[in-house]
Structure 1
């Protein structure tokens, strides 16, 4: 893909702030024709610059009263074990996101559960019960905030 220009970066910024914006509104905000805007968005999607669009859910409103991060150490450590862990855990309703890491922990798992008993059961049943998991440290999330701006390195 060609290098992103200022118009592409403006489009990304607008979509980052509101993924539900219509193409017509997006084109108006970045001062280009709707057809041009649509083609640029399609190009960035096909090139993998835009990987998807997501909504920001208030988990408390759907029963996820507690958020937690589990830091996990795997042993043995291999690509097959890493992939199996991701493939097994990501589909679970409690999982918000997973981070495969370098450093002291191999994974950080961000999850949402209804209460402390649900958290305890989930950690025991889905994580510590796995033979390859040798250490788990779980911490409660008091607040999660998302940056309102997109890091633009092409400027």
Structure 2
């Protein structure tokens, strides 16, 4: 299981960089440097350092799942029969490699995993659960919830102040 190492706190400039990139991930280094009043080389160095430290982890491409033939999204709760590292890790590894899985969350509480999936229709959702989840002997129970709509939250960063950026 992946453990997070303790990272040094961000200074004010790092926070401003991360905030601007979170608001507009396609911002060029030139535009970012201009908004921050920095030399482009300084800005590029700071962004590269944030990536190397793991503060900024790649970029995200958001897909229109309906246009790709997967308009139905669901959350599937999974409860395990037995809990040990081998069973949990094996199931986790299998689930994240299953086509249609958007995210897998290993959680505490009554359930052990939440799966966010996208499929073509209700029949495909039923088949997904039967062919990819309940086939694992360690799975005791599943519960499926349809997603009607999804919206992004504001996240953990304050919105950039247009007066200063």
Does TM, normalized by the shorter one, top 0.5? yes
Counterpart in 2 of 1:144?
150
Paired residues of 2:98 and 2:132 also in contact (CA < 8 A): no
Please give the TM-score of this superposition, normalised by the length of structure 2.
0.85
Cα deviation digits, residues 55-110 of structure 1 (max 9, x gap): 22221111111000000011211222222122111122201111110001111100
Cα distance in structure 2, aligned partners of 1:74 and 1:64: 27
Q: CA RMSD in A?
A: 1.6
Q: For residues 55-70 of structure 1, what are the structure 2 equivalents within 5 Å?
A: 55-70=61-76
- Unmatched 5+ residue regions in structure 1? none
Deviation >6 Å, runs of 4+: none
Please give the TM-score of this superposition, normalised by the length of structure 1.
0.90
Cα distance in structure 1, aligned partners of 2:86 and 2:20: 38
Q: Alpha carbons of 1:29 and 1:91: their partners in 2 closer, same or farther (altered >3 Å)? A: farther
Q: For residues 116-155 of structure 1, what are the structure 2 equivalents within 5 Å?
A: 116-147=122-153, 149-152=154-157
Displacement of 1:32 in angstroms is 1.8
- How many residues align? The count is 152
Displacement of 1:19 in angstroms is 2.0
1:17 to 11, 20, 23: 23
Paired residues of 1:16 and 1:150 also in contact (CA < 8 A): no
Displacement of 1:3 in angstroms is 2.4
Counterpart in 1 of 2:163?
none
- Unmatched 5+ residue regions in structure 2? 1-6, 159-165
Bigger helix share: 1
